[in-house]
């Protein structure tokens, strides 16, 4: 087996007296859908923020694709190929869907400031390519017809799709999705599941936080369970589901 795509070890993160992440280690292999579950307040989003560079961990190690990303700035993390969506949708609300995705390509396009203002043929060609690629991505996530709509006027489910398209615009190797199915109805959740499988089939590894256990069990190759900042279980869904510590974390201990 080759080296994992992403590997963290001994990660600690404290907020004052709160030990939000306590010695967390995990590794994600290229091409898998890796799930992260746990009760509310278990540290899932904190771990997510560490993995995407938004939080700087206090201790530990973090490598991705052979590169050391420990305590790196968020845009370095994005450049290295990790893109994310947010639990509370954070789109550029007053820009069109197409423009949102075009902004996502900034990280991969070269034109300098002056090229952007005094547009030579090269800058113009790049601009056209950016727009075309953005449209492709909108089509890919299934909202291609809504490209001229302002992001804030899109339906909730479409906003989630747009966030995924914008994240994909950064050409990630690993796509990290923070509760993408939150607030979706069963039909939308099914479509989302299909979309994630399509993205994985196209060669992007996926890290997923989700509360919808049924969705997770049917989708993920491996799942890690966090509780009080510690990883209490990891493995294939079947194994995790029957792990007594996981049941305890979710349901409490059965009375003797």
Partner 1 sequence: MDIFLQQIINGLVVGSIYALIALGYTMVYGIMQLINFAHGEIVMIGAMVTITCINLLIGAGVNLPGPLLLLAGLLMAIPISMLLGFTIERVAYRPLRRAPRLAPLITAIGVSIVLQQVAMLIWGRNYRPFPQILPTTVHDFFGAAVTDLQIAIVILSLVLMAGLFWLIEKTRLGRAMRATAQNPEVAGLMGVNINTVISMTFIIGSSLGAVAGVMVAANYDQAHAYMGFMIGLKAFTAAVLGGIGNIGGAVVGGLLLGIIESLGSGYLGDLTGGFLGSHYKDIFAFVVLIGVLVFRPSGLLGERVAERA
Helices (H), the chain: 44-51, 74-80, 97-104, 113-117, 121-141, 156-169, 186-201, 213-219, 237-241, 244-251
In the list 11, 26, 111, 226, the residue contacting partner 1 (rule: CB under 8 A) is: 111
Query: Which range touches partner 1 (CB under 8 A), out of 31-39, 71-79, 136-144, 224-232?
Result: 71-79
9 DSSP β-pair partners:
61
Buried b (16+ CB within 10 A) or exposed e, 47-63: bbbbbbbebebeebebb
Give yes or no for a contact between 36 and 246, defined as CB atoms under 8 angstroms apart: no
Task: Confirm or reject binding of residue 110 to partner 1 (CB under 8 A).
Answer: no
Task: Confirm or reject binding of residue 93 to partner 1 (CB under 8 A).
Answer: yes
Task: Confirm or reject binding of residue 160 to partner 1 (CB under 8 A).
Answer: no
Neighbours of 75 (CB within 10 A): 12
CB of residue 168 to partner 1, shortest distance in Å? 12
CB of residue 116 to partner 1, shortest distance in Å? 4
Task: Confirm or reject binding of residue 166 to partner 1 (CB under 8 A).
Answer: yes
Query: Which range touches partner 1 (CB under 8 A), out of 82-90, 138-146, 153-161, 194-202?
Result: 82-90
Task: Confirm or reject binding of residue 67 to partner 1 (CB under 8 A).
Answer: no
Task: Confirm or reject binding of residue 108 to partner 1 (CB under 8 A).
Answer: yes
Residue 16 phi/psi, 5-degree rounding, is: 60, -120
Give the binding site for partner 1 (CB under 8 A).
Answer: 52, 74-75, 78-79, 84, 86, 90, 92-95, 99, 102-109, 111, 113, 116-117, 119, 123, 127, 130, 152, 166, 169-170
């Amino acid at each position: 087996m080759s080296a994992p795509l992403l590997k963290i070890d001994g990660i600690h993160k404290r907020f004052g007296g709160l030990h939000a992440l306590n010695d967390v280690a995990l590794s994600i292999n290229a091409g898998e859908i890796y799930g992260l579950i746990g009760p509310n307040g278990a540290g899932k989003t904190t771990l997510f923020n560490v993995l995407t560079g938004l939080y700087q961990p206090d201790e530990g190690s973090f490598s991705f694709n052979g590169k050391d990303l420990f305590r790196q700035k968020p845009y370095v993390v994005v450049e290295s190929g990790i893109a994310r969506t947010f639990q509370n949708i954070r789109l550029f609300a007053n820009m069109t869907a197409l423009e949102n995705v075009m902004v996502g390509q900034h990280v991969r396009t070269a034109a300098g400031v002056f090229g952007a203002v005094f547009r030579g043929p090269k800058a113009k060609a790049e601009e056209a390519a950016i727009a075309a690629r953005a449209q492709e991505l909108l089509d890919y996530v299934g909202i291609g017809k809504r490209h001229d709509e302002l992001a804030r006027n899109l339906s909730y489910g479409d906003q989630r799709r747009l966030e995924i398209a914008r994240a994909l615009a950064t050409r990630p190797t690993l796509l990290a999705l923070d509760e993408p199915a939150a607030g979706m109805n069963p039909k939308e959740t099914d479509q989302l599941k299909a979309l994630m499988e399509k993205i994985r089939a196209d060669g992007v590894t996926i890290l997923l936080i989700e509360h919808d256990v049924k969705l997770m069990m049917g989708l993920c190759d491996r799942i890690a369970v966090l509780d009080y900042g510690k990883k209490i279980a990891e493995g294939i869904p079947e194994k995790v589901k029957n792990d007594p510590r996981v049941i305890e974390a979710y349901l409490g201990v059965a009375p003797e």
